[in-house]
Copies of this chain bind each other. A is one copy, B any other.
Amino acid sequence: MPGNETTELSRARRRGFFNIGEAAAASGVSARMIRHYERIGLIPPANRTFGNYRIYSDNDVHTLRFIGRARKLGFSVEQIELLLSLWQDRNRSSAEAKRLALEHVAELEAKIRELQGMRDALKTLADRCHGDDRPDCPILEDLADASR
């Protein structure tokens, strides 16, 4: 082919763009998940090079970092969608973000309480189990019988 479009990826890189692997390394979100977030619509479809490689700007990477941090705080993708729209809304009220955060805190606490309940029940049983060679075991007995 005439015209010689160079590679287009190297040009993009020279202009400061990232391919997906670089964006992943820079944002802390795996390439796998970046593609996933694109497919489910959490992020818009990335621009492509002539070779069909996705390219990302600094701004895109910034967004990915935002998403990664929100995930680490346990926000669901659905919640992150809301957080992103708030983040990108210059006229947002902080009240909305706070409401979302506190709602998630409540979810976390409910889950924590649930796990603590399991832990306490199990710990009580384990404490009552002598844990030697004999077969009698309050743990198994409790699982077997409703009475406890």
Contact = CB atoms under 8 A, between A and B. Distances in A.
Interface string A63-89: 001100110111000000001001101
Contacts of A130: 94, 98
A122 B108 contact: yes
Q: Classify the secondary structure of A's interface with B.
A: helix
A139 B131 CA distance: 48
Contacts of A136: 94
Given A118-B74, A143-B83, A94 B132 contact: yes
Interface string A109-124: 1011001101101110
A143 B105 contact: no
Contact of A137 (B62, B92, B111): B92
A142 B74 contact: no
A123 to B, nearest CB: 6
B93 A134 contact: yes
A127 to B, nearest CB: 9
A95 interface: yes
A118 B65 contact: no
Contact of A122 (B73, B92, B126): B73
A132 B93 contact: yes
Closest 8 A-B residue pairs measured CB to CB?
A: A98-B131, A94-B137, A108-B119, A101-B126, A74-B118, A98-B129, A95-B131, A97-B137
